[in-house]
Each structure stands twice: as C-alpha cells, then as structure tokens.
A = this chain, B = another copy of it.
Amino acid sequence: MTEQYVYFFAQNNAEGNRTMRDTLGGKGANLAEMAGIGLPVPPGFTISTDVCGLYFEAGNKIPPEVEEQILTNLRKLEETSGLTFGDAANPLLVSVRSGAKFSMPGMMDTVLNLGLNDKTVEDLAGKSGGRRFALDCYRRLIQMFSDVVLEVPKKKFEDRLKEKKAELGITNDSEISEDQWKEIVDIFKGIVKQEAGVDFPQDVKEQLFMAVSAVFRSWHNPRAITYRRLNHISDDLGTAVNVQLMVFGNYGETSGTGVGFTRDPATGAKELYGEYLINAQGEDVVAGIRTPSPLKELEGDMPEMFRELKETTTALEKHYGDIQDFEFTIQEEKLYMLQTRSGKRTGQAAVKIAVDLVEEGLTTKEKALMLVEPGSLDQLLHPVFDNEEKSAAEILVKGLAASPGAASGQVVFTAEEAVAWKQEGREVILVREETSPDDIHGMSASQGFLTATGGMTSHAAVVGRQMGKPAVVGCGAIVLNEKDSSFQVGSTVIREGDNISIDGATGEVLLGEIKTRPSEILQVVRGKIRPEDSEIFGYFTKFLSWADEVRRMDVRANADTPEDAEVAFAFGAQGIGLTRTEHMFFDKERLPFIKKMIMSESEDDRRANLDQLLPFQRKDFYELFKAMHGNPVTIRTLDPPLHEFLPKKEELMVEIVELKASGRGDAEKIRELEVVLERVQALSEFNPMLGHRGCRLGVTFPEIIEMQARAIFEAACQLSQEGEKVLPEVMVPLIGGVEELANQKEIIVRIAEELIEQYGVELEYTVGTMIEIPRAAITADQVAREADFFSFGTNDLTQMAFGISRDDGAGFINHYLTHGIWKDDPFMTVDIDGVGELMKWAVEKGRRTRPDLKVGICGVHGGDPRSIFFCHRIGLNYVSCSAYQIPIARLAAAQVTLQERSA
C-alpha cells in the first residue's frame, strides 16, 4: 500500500484533523477539523507537506503516485460538489493555496478561480447571471496564474489595465463593460504569450498541476526564506497545498466576505470583532479600495448570517478552547468558513482571555497557561502611547527595540543634564553614543534612552529592561554632535531641549511629544492605584497565581537597590538572585571614596578608604535584606575592573594637553591630572572584560572583599538581632576554578563567623559562586567542593564561550543574524549547543560532587522564555531576572513544567 499524500475534507467527512499540522500544515489541519466537526467548509483536499520535500528531491516534479492521488481526490471533489473540472456545463472551480505548519502570512503563493478557461468561463457567466463577473474572474485567474506560475510580473497586467482604462476614459473597474472585459482577457492572454512564451493553458488539469508545483516552489522564494530565518522556522518543514472548491463572496448583494476574532484581540472583551464587505472577495478586504464595515454591523445587514456566524465561531472557540481568528465567505446567503486559527492578541487581552476562558468553563487552568506568550506580559508593564497621537506623529528613524514601553521628553546629551533637568521638573530622553555605568544616575532621571551604537544586550538595553524604562539602541542613522548639543538624522537636526518620543517595543523614534498612558499594573505595584480598583491587575494576579501552582523552578530578581527589591517582591520574586554591589559605588556620595581607594599607594591607605565605604554598603544591605522579608538575598562581591571608576584615559590626555597649550592650567592642577592619568594608565587594559576584575580583585586585594563581607554580615547580624529573618548568600564572581573560590570563601566565612560570634546571633548563610567562565563550568565537580550554590552568569559565559564581547559584537552579530549564519542572538537566548552544553555539564558535574547543590541563573537570559525553558530542562532550581521580567519568568517556568508533563 502506498503512503497517503493527499487528504480529503468535506463537511462531516474529513480525513485529517487539527492534530495533523505537521502533515497538513496549519490551514489544512484546521480546514479538516472544521469540516470534521460539521462546520460549513467548502470541500477540497490537502496535499501533504511531505510532498514538498519529494517534489524538490525529484528535481521539481510531482511524483507519479502523488499525481494519481491528486486525481483521485479531484474526482471525489467532483462527486461531492456535483461539478466537473473543466466541464463546460458544470465546471468545478478551485482555489490553490499554500499552508505550512507555521503561519507565514503573505509569504507564499495562492491562485484563485482555477478551472476557468475560454469554455468554462461561459458557464460561470450563465450561472452567476453576469458575464462581467465571470470575465473579471477569468482575467484575475490569468493574472494570478501568470504571476505565480509563469513568473510574469503582476505589474505588466496592472499597467496594461491602467492604460486601457485611460484609453477608455474610465477610472473605476466597475465602469468597465462586459465587452471591454472580454477584450482585456484577450490582451492579458497576449501578455502571457509575449512574456512567458507560452499560451495561457486551457487544459484545466495542466492549470492545476502547474499551480500546485508553483506553490511548492514558492517555499523557496527569497521572502519565504527570510521570513523563516527571522521566525526560526526550519527550511525542512515544507508547505502543504490546499485545493478547495471556490466560493464567491462577490456573487452579488447577498454575498460577502470577512475576517474576525471571537473576542477583541486588543482588550480581550468577549464580542465578535472584525470586518466584512458585501459583494466582495477576500482580497478586496485587504486591498483597501473599499472600506470594510465592523463585523457587528453584519447583524443589521444580514441578521440570519450574523446569527449563524456567531453560533459557528462560538462553537469553534469552544472546540479549540481559545480565541479564534477566522475567515468566512457568504455566497448567496450561505455561510462558508474558509479558515480558523488561534488569534494573535495583545498581552493584556491574552491574560484576560485566558482567565475568562477558564471561568467560562471553556478550558482548564493548565491549558489557559499555555495560551499566553510569556514575553507578551511585558506589554502590561510599560507605558503605551495614545494611539491617535502616535499615528499622527512623524517617525524620525528606527533603531533596535531594546526595552519596551513608550516615553516622551526633551532631549539631553549627558547624564548630568538629565539629573539637572529632571530636578527642574522636566521629562527628558537621554541620547548618547552609548551609555556606561557612569551614566546610571542620568538614566535613572530619564524617561527613556536612545543610543547610536550597541545591540540588544548593550548597557543601555540591559539597564532599560532592568529599570523598566524604554530604550531604543543601535540607531546607526543618528549622528551625534556633542559639541553642538545636537544630533542629526539625514538633514533633520534635533537640539537639546527638543521633544522626541521613543517606542521601545518597535524601535521607533518620533518627533515631538506624544501623550503616554502609564501601565496600570505598575501603578498598582507602585501604590498609585488600589489593587481592587484595577480589573486588569486582578486578572494578572489570578493568572500568575495559577502559574505559581504549576511551576517547579523558583523565580528571583536581580536587584541592586532596596527600591528594585520592593518592586521585585511586589511582582512575586522569591528572593534576590543577584545584587551587583558595585552599582552602589557609582552614587555621587560614594564615588570619591572608591576613587581614593583605587588611587591608594599602600594597603593601609586602601583599608582606610574602604573603611569609609563600609557604612554605605552596610546600609544598602540592611535595606535590601529588609525589603526581601527573609527571602534569600544573593550578594555578589565586587566585579568590575577598577578603572571603570576612574575617568577615561584619552579624556585625561586631551585635558592635560589642552591645559598645557592654553597656558590656563596651573602646574598643580596639571600635576594632579597627571597623577590620575598615571594610575589610569597603570590600570588600563587591552581587554578589560578579560582583565583584573571579579574575584581576581578580591584575591589580589583581600581587603576589598573583607570590607564587603563585613558590610554584609554586620547588616545581617543587626537585622537578626532585631528579630528579622535574613538569609544572605554571598556569591563570588568570575572564578575560573575551585582555588579562587576557596581563597575568597575562607575570607568570607572567617569574617561571617567572627561577626556572628560578636553579635551573638544565629544566622544561616551560604557561600557560592557565579559560573560564568567556561573553565568554571568544565571543572564544576571541583568547584562544587567549595560552593553551596552555583549561579550561571550567562552574559559572561556567552561572551567567553563564543569569544565575543557584547559591547563590540553588535556589528557583526547583526550581519550574522541577517545573513542567516546564526538563527538567534546568543546574548538574548541561551545558545543550547555551546553555552547550554557547558551549563548542562556544570549542573551534572556539580551535583555529582554535591547532590543538593542549588543552581540558578542570573544573566539576562534569566528573563528570556526560551532560555527559561532550557534552564528547567537541565534542572535549575531558580531563575533570576530583572524585576519587570518576573511575571514572564513565572509564566515561562510554569509552561515548561506543563510541557514536560505532557511529553
């Protein structure tokens, strides 16, 4: 018995069903499903995706056994419809459409009205009661067929039609007479002959097989390839081809066509949503020549049809347990369903729909959790533009959409200005070539950031996501002119103080001010709206509580300040997975001490300056612990290279030369700068990412880690004395092997024990390490001898596993992504083959030494759903992400648990 390559479907009689997307494609599977449950679907058949591969293997030929099955199904379709393909009396007309497993809208080809030729067109003319209509269909077929099958550009036909209308002095297609359409059909046939060198085929079976072949070929057209690349769809899947009885929405005033959703995809409101046109074909709705009407008006136009549509789609929604996006055609007051699929929706709608579906009994909590794309929750946490104002605004330029949300404000070019202007009550957008840790205070004072360089994981992008502020980065078209305090895009100059708006979800930079609406969820979290006054907050909370019931991994936050920690706690963080202690040093009050500490000539001098920093750090930790209410707080010891705290070398050099040349500078000032320059030069590194930082600082300057350990445990002991629960986890960064960890741990434990004894408290604490150096992952069995926990620093791990600096890679990474060399940016989603393998080894080897080893992740990947799935699969105990990504992580962690259960 030969394999089945073609699957028939007709109302209550379908060989396929919705589970067969691999074989039938999305469209084919849903047509079969709808037909199978008795919905009014025009009959037809689906040629399976397997044939796509066979077609290419056979050298772009449909294999004979498939041809045979197609003909068999064609006969079945003739029987079902009572029509005959190519018969002058009762001709069967069909559409031929592509349909891959994953929707690729508009990427592949479609031919309608197939089966028309010089003879059958006459029958259609007779039946439809309009020769004009039939001829219009025919010329459309010629045009579409030639474009798709014979590669004669559509434009050739359109131009000729335009010419013809000009000759006739006609502007509107509807004014073209029957005879004129006949003439146009002949002209079109002439174009085919001239351009393709063949006659338009009158043999309808030839038409069919040529069209099917063309649809298969369209799988490899450049735009389809690009689309797949961008959407991570494998080239191997292939497309199915759906051959289906034509129905005509343009059959007259009792016909029509439309598209819709079973609920409002923007808000989630439970009402039919969509639009339709009377006496029109699907393409007319899209073409925009006529303005379609809102779907609810169909109730007035065709009440019976509206009722039937509503019943049908409600049944569909119930059947699928999810909001449906459908297409329908009405031919002479008969409803046909042409497509259904899960409806795309906004994050807000997704949450509301998921909860409503459960409460309406249409689905289960577990299934509802799978209905929301984790990343879409982000939309609920950011301000959004007023839609009307935004569509009126001029788009200046587009950059990378690095941190979602909408922001409007006046342009400033330095962090200092941002702070100053903010204090005057102005809202600002900070525009920089690239931001650095020095800019943190300015970023904190801004509504959003715009940078000319840097990628999705540049400083501005990471800080944006962490602070929950919009950022557009890597906007290469921007030319900054810092001296003039302006920037330029083409000939447009934007000066300091000018208003711009940025949309961090799209990457758009718009001219002028656009009103924004703050996130309602955030308003609640920040205490500006009472929870009970926000409907969406209620939905959000309920939905995530279901996720919490399911998930196995804990979710923690990366938080550097008590404020961050409070937001994180409000979002459901079960602890802090990463506190970057150095971020505390950039504060204006503290920076002088850290600078002095670095300039110290001796250890004593350094210790003296560290003593000045101790009270600040202690206070930070005290408040952080307090904000987390006894949940674990992971504190990372000092990580960045010391020169990050000093001025830049070239700036100092230029300043000195300028001072000397101008004669302004007194000798003392110059000498002072020269001393700083010397230290900066001594500390300067060719590759600071691979330099003297992380635990290497703590090992070579133990007094630094001593101060930090002291600050941590004084704070913890104090709180403990006050009767609060505290759970500090001290984390050593950038170890390459167990030796460094042992060295640092000895210091931390010594000081902890000293202080615990001194305060006379009982205090639980752990000491662990980042796994962010490949060697640490490789030797994890050794490292685990000293580590109570591991936390994957996937930013550095990715940098080092790939040998690529995030800061420098943007240019060629973009090239790699757009040229399909890489499918994903490994700085956004864990690279499973390389970095992921290291992580897997580290977990396995680590637990071989210490079976109860706690393992988490605190790199940016901790907030990326696909990476979270991976973390679950390799057995991590928790993920840690920015406060604003906690909802995403809670949901993603639940989804992967559910996937696992169903696998």
Tell me which residues from 789 to 827 in chain A have a Cβ below 8 Å from any Cβ of chain B: 796, 799-805, 807-809, 811-812, 815-816, 819, 821-822
Complex interface: stretch among A38-46, A210-218, A226-234, A686-694:
A686-694
- Give Cα distance in the complex from A816 to B735, angstroms: 13
Greatest chain B CB density within 10 A among A690, A700, A802 is at A690
Is the CB–CB distance between B782 and A690 below 8 Å?
no
For A740, list chain B residues within 8 Å (CB). Answer: 821
Q: B812 and A692: CB pair below 8 A?
A: yes
User: By the criterion CB–CB under 8 Å, are B696 and A812 in contact?
Assistant: yes
Q: How far apart are the CA atoms of A835 and B650 in the complex, in Å?
A: 36
Query: Of B658, B816, B822, B833, which is within 8 A of A661 by CB?
Result: B658
B803 adjacent to A835 (CB under 8 Å): no
Number of copies of this protein chain within its complex: 2
List residues of chain B with CB within 8 A of the CB of A700: 811-812, 815
Known interface pairs A650-B650, A654-B657, A778-B837. Does A691 touch B743 (Cβ–Cβ under 8 Å)?
no
A779 CB-CB contact with B under 8 Å? yes
Chain B CB within 8 A of A699 CB? yes
Whether the pair B691, A690 counts as a contact (CB closer than 8 A) is no
Q: Is A834 interfacial (CB-CB < 8 Å)?
A: yes
A636–chain B nearest beta-carbon distance, Å: 16
Chain B residues lying within 8 Å of A491, measured Cβ to Cβ, are none
Q: How far is the CA of A685 from the CA of B454 in the complex (A)?
A: 11
A838 CB–B CB distance under 8 Å: yes
* CB <8 Å contact, A690 and B799: yes
Residue-by-residue, is A757-788 near B (CB-CB < 8 Å gives 1, otherwise 0)? 00000000000000011110011001000000
Could you tell me the distance in whole angstroms from the C-beta of A127 to the nearest C-beta in chain B?
56
Say whether A734 contacts B803, CB under 8 Å.
Answer: yes
Task: Annotate A674-701 by CB proximity to B: 1 below 8 A, 0 otherwise.
Answer: 0000000000011111111000100110
A688–B662 alpha-carbon span in the complex (Å): 35
Min CB–CB distance A845 → chain B (angstroms): 10
Which of A657, A687, A699, A822 has most chain B Cβ within 10 Å?
A: A687
Please state if A775 and B653 are interface contacts (CB–CB under 8 Å).
Answer: no
Closest-by-CB residue of B relative to A816 is: B699
CB distance from A646 to the nearest CB of B (A): 15
**When chains A and B are docked, how far (Å) is the Cα of A654 from the Cα of B772?**
38
Q: Evaluate whether A803 and B804 lie within 8 angstroms (CB atoms) in the complex, with A649-B650, A700-B812, A833-B778 already known.
A: no
Q: Which of A729-758 contact B (CB under 8 A)?
A: 734, 736-737, 739-740, 743
Centre residue among A686, A688, A734, A779 by max chain B CB count within 10 A: A686
A378 within 8 A of B: no
Residues B688 and A775 in contact, CB atoms below 8 Å apart: no
In whole angstroms, how far apart are the Cα atoms of A815 and B815 in the complex? 41
Partner pick for A803 among B685, B736, B782, B809, CB 8 A cutoff: B736
Q: A714 within 8 Å of B by Cβ?
A: no
Candidates B657, B690, B773, B837; contact of A657 at CB < 8 Å: B657
User: Which chain B residues lie closer than 8 Å to A801 at the CB level?
Assistant: 736, 773-775, 778, 800
Query: Please, which residues of chain B bring their CB within 8 A of the CB of A807?
Result: 685-687
Q: Which residues of B sit under 8 angstroms from A661, Cβ to Cβ?
A: 657-658, 661-662
Residue from B649, B692, B774 in contact with A774 in the complex, judged by beta carbons closer than 8 Å: B774
A831 within 8 A of partner (CB): yes
- Complex contacts, A658 vs chain B, CB 8 Å: 657, 661
* With known contacts A699-B815, A812-B696, A838–B802 Cβ distance under 8 A: no
Instruction: Give chain B nearest CB distance to A810 CB in angstroms.
Output: 10
Cα(A247)–Cα(B819), bound, Å: 84
Docked-complex contact B653 and A833, CB < 8 angstroms: no
Query: Which positions 646-667 of chain A face chain B at CB distance < 8 Å?
Result: 649-650, 653-654, 657-658, 661-662
Q: Is the CB of B699 within 8 A of A812?
A: yes
Q: How far is the CA of A835 from the CA of B699 in the complex (A)?
A: 22
Interface residues of A in 579-617 (CB under 8 A from B): none
Q: Tell me the smallest distance from the CB of A577 to a CB of chain B, in Å.
A: 21
Q: Is the CB of B699 within 8 A of A743?
A: no
Do residues B692 and A811 form an inter-chain contact, with CB atoms below 8 A?
yes
A688 touches B686 (CB 8 A): yes
Instruction: Give the distance in Å from the alpha carbon of A691 to the alpha carbon of B805 in the complex.
Output: 6
**Interchain CA distance A809-B815 in the complex, whole Å:** 32
Task: Give the residue name and chain of the B residue nearest to A685 (CB).
Answer: B808
Q: Which of B699, B812, B835 contacts A821 (CB 8 A)?
A: B699
User: Given A688-B686, A690-B690: A800 and B774 within 8 A (CB)?
Assistant: yes
Q: Are B687 and A821 in contact (CB under 8 A)?
A: no
Chain B nearest CB, measured from A673 CB (Å) = 14
Partner of A822, one of B739, B796, B809: B739
Report yes or no: A778 in contact with B834, Cβ–Cβ below 8 A.
Answer: yes
User: A737 near B808 (CB under 8 angstroms)?
Assistant: no
- A690 is contacted by which of B653, B803, B831 (Cβ under 8 Å)? B803
Known contacts A654-B653, A658-B657, A834-B737; A808/B690 CB under 8 A: yes
A834 and B775 in contact, given A690-B805, A803-B736 (Cβ under 8 angstroms): yes
Rounded to whole angstroms, the CA-CA distance of A778 and B801 in the bound complex is 9
| Cβ contacts under 8 Å, A739 to chain B | 816, 821-822
A463 to B779 CA separation, bound complex (whole angstroms): 32
Distance, CA A740 to CA B812, complexed state (A): 12
Q: A658-B661, A743-B821 are in contact. Are A773 and B689 (CB under 8 A)?
A: no
Q: Are B805 and A796 in contact (CB under 8 A)?
A: no
Which residues of chain B come closer than 8 Å to A799, judged between CB atoms?
Answer: 690
Please, which residues of chain B bring their CB within 8 A of the CB of A815?
A: 699-700
Q: Which residues of B lie under 8 Å from residue A737 when comparing CB positions?
A: 833-834
* B778 lies within 8 A of A809 (CB): no
Complex CA gap A657/B650 in Å reads 11
Given the known interface contacts A653-B650, A803-B736, A803-B773, the answer about A688 and B778 at a Cβ–Cβ threshold of 8 Å is no
Instruction: Compute how far the CA of A740 lies from the CA of B692 in the bound complex, rounded to whole angstroms.
Output: 31
Give A743 to B815 CA distance when docked, in angstroms.
13
> Which residues of chain B have C-beta atoms less than 8 A from A796's C-beta?
803
> What CA separation (Å) do A429 and B614 show in the bound complex?
49
* Contact A831 to B699, CB < 8 A, known contacts A690-B804, A799-B690: no
Residues A687 and B805 in contact, CB atoms below 8 Å apart? yes
Q: Inside 8 A of A778's CB, which chain B residues have their CB?
A: 801, 833-834, 837-838
A-B contacts, 10 listed (Cβ < 8 Å): A686-B805, A687-B807, A692-B808, A700-B812, A736-B801, A737-B834, A743-B821, A773-B803, A774-B801, A775-B834
Known: A657-B658, A778-B838. 10 other contacts (CB 8 A): A658-B661, A687-B807, A690-B803, A691-B809, A699-B821, A739-B822, A774-B803, A774-B834, A775-B831, A779-B833
Can you list the 3 inter-chain pairs with the closest CB atoms, starting with the nearest? A661-B661, A690-B805, A775-B834
